[in-house]
Structure 1
């Protein structure tokens, strides 16, 4: 059952107070309670109460100021002084020694298990030797045991609250760590997407731009086609980047066009063919439904492989082959370029990105020189489900 908000606020404010201030106020309150019989009851046969009674009432309660620092010592002082109450007469009858109960509660709540067990044993044995009637001894023992039980309950409640706070803090740390990991994964994904888009578009534009001056002098029609290819690659890159940045906006109002998939590979092959590289596209087997992750990975893997061919291979021909199997899609991209002699630029992420994309959707990827002819071979196996 949830406690009222006012109680929660008061509890929080009370916990914020300095412990010494709280214990001092408690000691004054208990002192007033123990002096109450002496201050309000009638004197004995016209005689004033003995001063000793006032001393004991104060001495058995004021040490509660230090109850958190030395709980056992405060309990011993309170018990000893209260037992000396009847040494003088006349004194008023004390119905309950509140200082003892508070000190007993504190020992039960804060002391170690051996001290608590010794205290319980002494309470049980001492009940038989307390001065006064058996009823008084029994009542005193019951009150002390009740104070002990309340102290243990308070200790258990604090331990449970501390455990819950620790668990909440741990969960919050784990949540922050997971959020950080998710952000890192998202940054890596965005970096791969930006790399794939820009590297592919810029490579095509550079190749066409390098061929443009030669074509202008020898073949104006081809030069015009080269400039058209540069413009098309730039527009495509800008559109994909604009779409990606729109998705990243907080308002979420940007249109979210679908990611390229396996069905867009023929268009990609045609686009690269326009850059002067002869690209063939083959399909073997019956096409099957494929997961969204594998579909995007297939397109990006082929795109990255073609980008590497355009940038580094010095090839004249490249081939794309898709092989549909029962539960996997095999992707093979080959070229007739430099093969093993190919040198990737420092810091390049092309082949690494291919492997990461394949692994991210549960597949595998490999790259290396061709064994059947000069050139390079990139292969990937992606799961269909």
Structure 2
């Protein structure tokens, strides 16, 4: 906007004056507040531009830069009412400005085009930002759901085993003291394991620098297939006779898939401990060419009407996150309960 006042003008043109220079500056300065009060800035720019056109003999500008900037800002940030007012004001101001300048159809067409382009670009920016916000909100919702599933699986499994052990402890103290000692050891181990997993999860949610600028929270790996024997052993220590069998090279799986398999088995065994009143259970993992099958069965009392709370819903969500499925129902020959999940595998993985 100030270039005509910096570069000497041709001798045939009127020289730039200080009043014209001041009005040019006043036209630009309001843009500092364009995000806080865009409509007020628009009115200020229109007023100073009109004064410039009518009150001083200053050099004209090839493009109304400040008007284009505020038009873009209003289109991108302002509500529909302000945008409508802006369009009406520009529809009046642009022809008047052209009439005061060259009064040519070419300038009118060009001016309308560039202002329309600034407005369109502003609306496109608003649309893109809205889409990004929606995507961010959806990602946050998915992350909250994932954390809720993790918290449910960890706490539900640990508390269920601890309750079973605690209930059997008093009886074992009177009849088999060595069993009581094993029960208390199992409670302690289950509690420590749950605390370690919760600490790891909460650590991931902290800031990268940790509290008060300290060292970052430790990043331990997610539980995976290597942890299944220990999981089965802890459940077995609670009094449930659990067998575990894996075939087809299931241990060579991606980390994310292994963590999902671990959580599915964990939730299935937790349901057995909490609801099935079973004596035995089995965990079977079978890997085919392109799918992994997880089957957990027990000899308990089978599915009950209305069963299938957050835990079973979490099983289906975990499997679906990998493009798989999960189903529940009666076990073999209609006895007990069975959880079956299938997870597709990538070729060569």
Q: Does the alignment pair 1:205 with 2:166?
A: no
Q: Where in structure 2 are the equivalents of 1:223-234 lying within 5 Å?
A: 223-234=180-191
Measured at CA, do residues 182 and 69 of structure 1 come closer, stay the same or move farther in structure 2, by a change above 3 Å? closer
Q: Does 1:372 align with 2:338?
A: no
**Distance in 2, Cα, partners of 1:200 & 1:245:** 18
TM-superposition CA deviations, 1:76-115 (whole Å, max 9, x none): xxxxxxxxxxxxxxxxxxxxxxxxx84276xxxxxxxxxx
The aligned counterpart of 2:265 is: 302
Give the length in aligned residue pairs. 280
Structure 1's 215 and 169: CA in aligned 2 closer, same or farther, altered over 3 A?
same
C-alpha distance in 2 between matches for 1:288 and 1:224: 34
The answer to whether the 8 Å contact 2:30/2:45 transfers is no
Matched residues in 2 for 1:318 and 1:208: separation?
A: 17
Deviation string 1:332-373 (CA, Å, 9 cap, x unpaired) is 00000111337648xx30110000000001111111112425
**Structure 1 equivalent of residue 46 of structure 2:** 19
Report what 2:113 is aligned to: 156
In structure 1, the gaps of 5 or more residues are: 34-66, 76-100, 106-142
Aligned partner of 2:99 among 94, 103, 107: 103
Listed one character per residue, the Cα deviations across residues 30-80 of structure 1 (whole Å, up to 9, x for unaligned) are 7x99xxxxxxxxxxxxxxxxxxxxxxxxxxxxxxxxx978679x97xxxxx
Rounded to whole Å, the distance in 1 between the matches of 2:155 and 2:229 is: 20
| Shift in Å, 1:299 | 0.5
**TM (normalized to structure 1)?**
0.66
Deviation at 1:7, TM superposition (A): 11
Q: CA deviation at 1:194?
A: 0.5
| Structure 2 equivalent of residue 185 of structure 1 | 142
Match of 1:363 among 324, 329, 332: 324
Whichever of the two has the greater Rg, that structure is: 1
The aligned counterpart of 1:290 is: 253
Contact 2:160 2:273 in 1 (8 A): yes
The 3 A distance-change label for structure 1 pair 233 and 375 is same
Secondary structure of the corresponding residue to residue 303 of structure 2 = helix
Deviations 1:155-186 (A, max 9, x none): 21111111111111111111111111111111
SS in 1 for 2:223: coil
Q: How far apart are the structure 2 equivalents of 1:155 and 1:298?
A: 61
Structure 2 CA distance for aligned equivalents of residues 240 and 69 of structure 1: 64
> Residues 284, 70 of structure 1: CA spacing in aligned structure 2 closer, same or farther, 3 A cutoff?
closer
For the structure 1 residues 70 and 296, does the alpha-carbon distance in structure 2 shift closer, same or farther, using more than 3 Å as the test?
closer
> SS at the partner of 1:258?
coil
Change (3 A) 1:7 1:382: farther
Alignment of 1:242-321 (within 5 A): 242-251=199-208, 253-287=216-250, 289-321=252-284
CA distance in 2, matches of 1:321, 1:381: 12
- In structure 2, relative to structure 1, the CA distance for the partners of 1:306 and 1:320 (3 Å cut) is same
How far has the Cα of 1:313 moved from its partner? Answer: 0.5
1:322 equivalent to 2:285? Answer yes
Q: Which residue of 1 aligns with 2:172?
A: 215
2:333 aligned counterpart, secondary structure: coil
